Amino acid sequence: MASGYHTRQRETQRDRILRLLLSAKGQWVPLWQIVPLAAQYSARLHELRHHDGYLIENKTEIDPKSGQRHSWFRIPTTPDEPTPPPAPPQSESPFQRSHAKDLEREAPLFTGRVR
């Protein structure tokens, strides 16, 4: 049988991190459990947040005795309740709309309209 391109057969680093966070069912997962899953765990978390729309919370604490920083991550919902994707940015703020109207009055050349 000739080898060819197949749909995604291997689990990606992002998949492994997501599976770990979802399996924790809202509990905090220490960074030391995430690091072995992805060499660039920060980039994978960014992708999960910004490309896939997951709400991933994080917290850090500094150990007062050793001064070491410890980090944890979680998805605060369960797999049965997927996190909705982030809301798209608003097209214009009220300030932008009023500013655009000022520009139209002051510079009709750029709006394609003539007074």
DSSP codes of every residue in 13-57: HHHHHHHHHHHTTT--EEHHHHGGG-TTHHHHHHHHHHTS----E
Q: For residue range 48-93, list pLDDT tens digits in order.
A: 999 999 999 999 999 999 999 999 999 997 555 555 555 555 555 5
Please provide the average confidence, as pLDDT, over all residues in the chain: 77
